């Protein structure tokens, strides 16, 4: 079995009596960051770890992160030997309770989100929120297993990797100093894309989320627990603006540009699962969510292979095949083409793409000059603006209604 998620640190011993001799203060604990993913290990994702682990290791060295973590029921993988594998035993009952309720209320909707039979009903993507319980870290950066965490070495239009350390250090410390609990970016359809996000662990926030999941209901029209349509249940716009950079009006325009707001329904991708839970719990039901920066020196992007055609498998779609070429170029350029079963399988995929003539449609080293296949890859910003520091806990939000901080 893989290692359960570590328990919160033991409480500090009581302070010595006033009559005790003075002792020097203990040294300040170093700022601790973890980089994490969720890997279900199914046949569809069996060979997904190679590029994620390679890019995560490069990012880890650049930003001096403390650990690489993989949430998985597997005890380890030869494709990611530098990571610690964890299974979120404590968080699992809450995720399973909501998964069962969704399966009963919306069987057709749930069928596409749950683990396939004979596994019990479970929305696996909810397990990423178990990272809230890892209070030994100041910040956890989560990225789905189909994300390249360090694409800047492949694209000349992006800032060089040598700027990573300063950008990450300044942004993460600003995020940690704020009252924000989570930062993520929107996409064209969803108000948050949880393919990559920053979390600030808290035992209290984790307990509240688990309690909420155990009793949550979902409706595509009125969202979670009947909170209302997206237009009727807005977030606190200044919190979005603080992380994004710019004013509340600009944040409102960006929010209104999403498909969710255009349709005024909770029917975006993952609305009944991780992305909807994230928006409801961290942005609507509570305060604590913010957006990643949209512009400025602290914009740091990752590349997310969206859609059902994943680049480690041979697809029929021509754009998906070119996207796979981009993926394999990065795999080889990052030194991740290991002599494992998946390494050999991906080298065979490369040979097959060459036979099909697809390989030569791609510019060397995945440069941005080759446009075909880019629609299969979404670029997501990760780091909030330094103005995220302005988010401070207060008893009331700007609209005058009480909204609890998490």
Nearest to 33 by CA among 124, 125, 131: 131
> Cα–Cα distances in Å, from 47 out to 60, 78, 107, 338?
21, 11, 30, 11
Instruction: Determine the Cα–Cα distance for residues 92 and 125; give it in Å rounded to an integer.
Output: 11
- Helix-helix angle 49-63:164-177, to 10 degrees: 80
pTM attached to this predicted model: 0.88
Low-confidence ranges of the chain (pLDDT < 50): 1, 4-21, 361-370, 397-400
Given a contact cutoff of 8 angstroms between Cβ atoms, the answer to whether 212 and 285 are in contact is yes
Task: Quote the pLDDT of residue 12.
Answer: 37
Task: Quote the pLDDT of residue 14.
Answer: 43
**196-238 per-position pLDDT tens digit:** 999 999 999 999 999 999 999 999 999 999 999 999 999 999 9
Provide the pairing of β-strand 193-199 with 67-71: unpaired
Nearest to 293 by CA among 166, 380, 188, 177: 380
Residue labelled with tokens 């609990």: 181
Q: What is the DSSP string of 153-173?
A: GT-TTSPPGGGHHHHHHHHHH
Given a contact cutoff of 8 angstroms between Cβ atoms, the answer to whether 142 and 34 are in contact is no
Task: Quote the pLDDT of residue 19.
Answer: 41
Task: Quote the pLDDT of residue 329.
Answer: 87
Instruction: Determine the Cα–Cα distance for residues 146 and 45; give it in Å rounded to an integer.
Output: 9
**366-381 per-position pLDDT tens digit:** 444 345 555 678 889 9
Task: Quote the pLDDT of residue 153.
Answer: 56
Given a contact cutoff of 8 angstroms between Cβ atoms, the answer to whether 192 and 184 are in contact is yes
């Amino acid at each position: 079995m893989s290692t359960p998620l570590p328990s919160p640190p033991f409480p500090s011993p009581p302070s010595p009596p006033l009559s005790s001799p003075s002792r020097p203060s203990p040294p300040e604990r170093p700022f601790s960051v973890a980089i994490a993913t969720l890997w279900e290990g199914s046949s569809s994702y069996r060979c997904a770890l190679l590029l994620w682990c390679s890019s995560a290791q490069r990012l880890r060295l650049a930003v001096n992160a403390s650990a690489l973590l993989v949430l998985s029921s597997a005890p380890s993988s030869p494709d990611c030997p530098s990571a610690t594998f964890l299974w979120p035993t404590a968080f699992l009952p809450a995720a399973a309770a909501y998964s069962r309720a969704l399966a009963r209320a919306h069987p057709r909707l749930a069928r596409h989100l749950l683990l396939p039979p004979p596994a019990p009903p479970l929305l696996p993507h909810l397990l990423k929120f178990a990272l809230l319980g890892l209070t030994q870290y100041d910040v956890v950066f989560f990225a789905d297993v189909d994300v390249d965490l360090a694409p800047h070495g492949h694209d000349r239009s992006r800032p060089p990797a040598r700027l990573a350390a300063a950008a990450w250090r300044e942004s993460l410390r600003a995020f940690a100093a704020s009252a924000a609990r989570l930062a993520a970016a929107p996409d064209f359809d969803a108000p948050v894309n949880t393919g990559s996000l920053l979390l600030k662990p808290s035992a209290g926030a984790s307990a509240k989320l688990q309690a909420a999941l155990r009793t949550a209901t979902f409706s595509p029209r009125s969202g979670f627990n009947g909170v209302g349509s997206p237009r009727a249940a807005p977030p606190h716009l200044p919190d979005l603006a603080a992380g994004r950079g710019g004013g509340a009006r600009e944040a409102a325009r960006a929010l209104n540009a999403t498909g969710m707001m255009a349709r005024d329904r909770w029917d975006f991708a993952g609305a009944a699962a991780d992305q909807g839970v994230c928006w409801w719990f961290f942005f609507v039901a509570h305060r604590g969510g913010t957006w990643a920066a949209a512009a400025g020196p602290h914009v740091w992007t990752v590349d997310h292979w969206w859609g059902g055609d994943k680049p480690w498998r041979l697809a029929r779609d021509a754009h998906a095949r070119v996207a796979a070429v981009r993926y394999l170029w990065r795999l080889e350029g990052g030194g991740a083409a290991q002599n494992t079963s998946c390494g050999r399988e991906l080298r065979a995929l490369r040979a097959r793409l060459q036979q099909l003539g697809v390989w030569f449609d791609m510019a060397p080293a995945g440069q941005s000059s080759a446009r075909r296949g880019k629609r299969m890859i979404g670029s997501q910003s990760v780091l909030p603006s330094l103005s995220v520091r302005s988010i401070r806990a207060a008893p009331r939000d700007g609209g005058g209604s009480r909204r609890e901080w998490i």
